Structure 1
Amino acid sequence: MASEDLTAPLGLGKRRLLRLPFGLIGTGLLSVVLTTGLVWMLVVDDPLGGEPIAMVPVGTDIAGLSQRDIEVVEIRPTLEDGALGPNLRPDAASNMLGPRYDLQKHAGQNEITRVDLINPDPRVVERSAYGYLPAVSDDGIRPLDVYARPVVSEYHSVPRIAIIVGGMGLSQTGTESALGLLPADVTLALAPYGENLDRWMQQAREKGHELLLQMPMEPYDFPDNDPGPHTLLVSLTPQEMADRFNWLLTRVTNYVGVINDMGARFMATRPSLQYVFENLTKRGLMFVDDGSSSRSVAGEVAAEVRTPFSGVDVVLDAVPREDEINAKLLQLEGVARARGVAVASASALPVTVRLLEAWSRDLEERGLMLVPVSATIDR
């Protein structure tokens, strides 16, 4: 220690300059930078390493494409048979309830004639006090098999849409418009109280349409809201139910099944539905739930009784305005793309028929396929 430091008065000695360890600080900063870079390379997935990139817009124009150009790839896992879903098991075909198109021609007949289209097939009818009742033949041929519109497509994974237009026969103008404008794959539902039903049935069959019969059923506000004198009611005795049911089935021929007209209460009553479904199954017909009731148990009962069944996903013209119908059509397309199959119902109103005709023109180019409702049974 220097002597001047010892002799200097307290507090008056030389001040030392602060000496910082710059070498140590630099080493620390360099370590932090290197560690940060190493962590960045390990965590951030950036194969370009921060190089400049260019964004190129990809066109979505599908003009000129058809459903044959747009195909959904179907991936099926390799699993044991017991782990596969019901539609992937080897015995799935034996459990399918949809139509058998190979049964539509008579033995030895080369082609279906006009007479075959407009007259009931003698194999699948029986006479009753009310008229012709649909029936299953002795060798198991159902009206569903005979009258279904065949669907032939090698692209089974293309999303499919079925549309049912009801109220046929109630209005001559509306019925003629639907028959003249709608494509043949649209299913038409005949109203049991319509006039000239045989005439409309014949014209529809000649144009290739598949047919349903509307069956009036009891709503919750019956009798204030009355679907007609032969409405199926939950309070009917078995004999009354059978009489009304058979009368309705004989109103016309050449149909593949029935669809409910109203019927929110009836569709929520299991015993009544079970009676109807058992008889539909016995007569070889399908049932379509029109989708108007959120309380419907039709799907559950149909599965129990093994009735060929399909349900409506979208009601197109519950609000019969052009913008509302167009919005429902967009919703219908979304359901079809998401699930593979979608079903819609509509009325034969002029605005509905006009919009459906325009909507269906380029359906194939948009990668969708219009099918009759019988093709959606085993969806």
Structure 2
Amino acid sequence: MDDLSAPLGQKRPQRAAARWLGKLGLNRIPVTPIQALAGGLGLAVGAVALWAVAVDDPLGGEPMVVVAAKTGGANAADPAGATDTKGNARRYDGPPPTAAQPSGAQTVNIIDGASGKSQQVVIPVNPAGPGSSSNTASAPPGDQHLLEKTRHGDVPRIGADGARPSTAYARPLAIPPGKADAPRIALVVTGLGISTKATNDALTRLPGPVSFAFTPYGHEVDQLVGRARQAGHEVLLQAPMEPFDYPDNDPGPQTLLTSLTAEQNIDRMQWLMSRFQGYVGIANFMGARFTASESALGPILRETGKRGLIFVDDGTSSRSLAGQIAGANNIPFAKADVVIDNVPTAAEIDRALGRLEAQARERGIAFGVLTALPLAITRVADWTKKAEARGFVLVPITAVAIKAKSS
């Protein structure tokens, strides 16, 4: 068909396009199917890159868990020492008072201390506030004369009669007949409260002398603390402290930081201490950088001692100065001799328990710590059933800390 017999307008776009390509020299370039496929993939990659730049969702795709917390926390998105949009440092006035906290939620990205996995944690505000009946119906109330009211809620204190929370909430030390000289072992399970299932597993399987350390963020943390106390377990509050890779590794809201002043950290600590009541002391949650700084850790340990509490170091950081500071200030203190599930396999957990036994026989007393991993709880629960027959006595954590102070 020649140009005279062809329908009008059919060939003009093709001829014009051919002339345009000819000017660019592209009409001589052969295009193979592989090249066409590569071009399509390039377009797809470009589209994804454009979407990533345009969409503001840095945590997209990460697992989420919803965890309740009580009113009174500072805005986790506006931490102390942050800067404004012009780069100027803002004044830090501490977390807002409980009554001033609006309804809503806080979202942070934390590392689960038990699994090591990163999680986006949404912490809804409870309008009832700390100490509300909805949160504490099943929890034994703290002794009122051992509580001090602060703008964040009630926190522990030494009573006017000299009574200390570390003794008032301690489990009575019961040594079986004929076992007065038997080697003693204290165990602490950490990371409880966030996972109700893990906490219930520990409550069901572990005997009363085993002490429980709770983080302040759990959905029903005060009910779980109440159940633990009713079952005879001593309770510790785990205070989130700055690790070396903070903020990539974030323990959670109100983390104690080396970049804050002593006053700011103590204010944060009071927020943490108001989350639940009935604990005998404070334990670190992470905190390798924080516990290595005397200027940061010292005021926190002195505040702990001033309020009649013990301090427990979980033994995960060799740089920790907690023992030196506690000794210099006459603060009841205990540091784990063995991290039982440092290598979370059945064989290694059993070997760690063997090392704990050896230290108890050698020194008369030893202290082991484990996280709330199901395997660790299972192995330790099985071990506790045979401990007495093997010549050991299980004791609560205060038996170790109080002895350390008096020795």
User: Which range, TM-score by smaller chain?
Assistant: 0.5 to 0.7
Show the counterpart of 1:129: 151
The Cα shift of 1:234 comes to 1.0
Q: 1:363 is aligned with what amino acid?
A: A
**Conserved 8 A contact 1:274-1:305:** no
In 1: Cα distance, 2:152 partner to 2:230 partner: 26
1:153-184 per-residue CA deviation (whole Å, 9 max, x = no partner) reads 26432111010001111111111100111001
Q: TM-score, normalised by structure 1?
A: 0.68
Q: Do residues 282 (structure 1) and 310 (structure 2) align?
A: no
1:304-351 per-residue CA deviation (whole Å, 9 max, x = no partner) reads 111110110000112211111111111111111111111111111111
Show the counterpart of 2:373: 349
Q: Do residues 149 (structure 1) and 171 (structure 2) align?
A: yes
Q: 1:131 is aligned with what amino acid?
A: G
Show the counterpart of 1:241: 265
In 2: Cα distance, 1:122 partner to 1:224 partner: 39
In 2: Cα distance, 1:312 partner to 1:287 partner: 11
The Cα shift of 1:117 comes to 7.5
In 1: Cα distance, 2:150 partner to 2:180 partner: 41
- SS of the equivalent of 1:253 reads coil
- SS of the equivalent of 2:377 reads helix
**Conserved 8 A contact 1:125-1:135:** yes
Q: 1:345 is aligned with what amino acid?
A: V
The Cα shift of 1:229 comes to 2.2
Show the counterpart of 1:100: none
Q: 1:237 is aligned with what amino acid?
A: T
Greater CA radius of gyration, 1 or 2?
Answer: 1
Once the two structures are overlaid, the 10-residue window that deviates more, 282-291 or 315-324, is: 315-324
Q: Do residues 170 (structure 1) and 200 (structure 2) align?
A: no
- SS of the equivalent of 2:263 reads helix
In 2: Cα distance, 1:117 partner to 1:348 partner: 21
**Conserved 8 A contact 1:159-1:336:** yes
**Conserved 8 A contact 2:139-2:223:** no
1:201-237 per-residue CA deviation (whole Å, 9 max, x = no partner) reads 1110111100001011111111121111211011102
Show the counterpart of 1:371: 395
The Cα shift of 1:267 comes to 0.9
Show the counterpart of 1:22: none
Identity %: 45
Q: 2:241 is aligned with what amino acid?
A: M
In 2: Cα distance, 1:173 partner to 1:322 partner: 20
Q: 2:168 is aligned with what amino acid?
A: V
4+ residue runs over 2 A deviation: 152-157
Residue correspondence of structure 1 range 275-314 to structure 2 within 5 A: 275-314=299-338
Q: 1:361 is aligned with what amino acid?
A: K
In 2: Cα distance, 1:241 partner to 1:201 partner: 24
The Cα shift of 1:136 comes to 0.4
**Conserved 8 A contact 1:135-1:282:** yes
Q: 1:320 is aligned with what amino acid?
A: P
Residue in structure 2 matching 1:204, options 207, 219, 228: 228
**Conserved 8 A contact 1:310-1:376:** yes
State the number of aligned residues.
265
The Cα shift of 1:188 comes to 0.3
Q: 1:367 is aligned with what amino acid?
A: G
1:90-142 per-residue CA deviation (whole Å, 9 max, x = no partner) reads xxxxxxxxxxxxxxxxxxxxxxxxx9981111121111111110000111101
In 2: Cα distance, 1:241 partner to 1:362 partner: 43
Q: 1:139 is aligned with what amino acid?
A: D
In 1: Cα distance, 2:268 partner to 2:194 partner: 20
Once the two structures are overlaid, the 10-residue window that deviates more, 173-182 or 120-129, is: 120-129
Unaligned runs of 5+ in 1: 1-114
Higher relative contact order (CA 8 A, sep 6+): 1
Q: 1:120 is aligned with what amino acid?
A: G
Residue in structure 2 matching 1:270, options 294, 298, 314: 294
Distance 1:116 1:125, change over 3 A: farther
The Cα shift of 1:258 comes to 0.8
The Cα shift of 1:271 comes to 1.6
Show the counterpart of 2:344: 320
In 2: Cα distance, 1:143 partner to 1:170 partner: 24
Show the counterpart of 1:226: 250
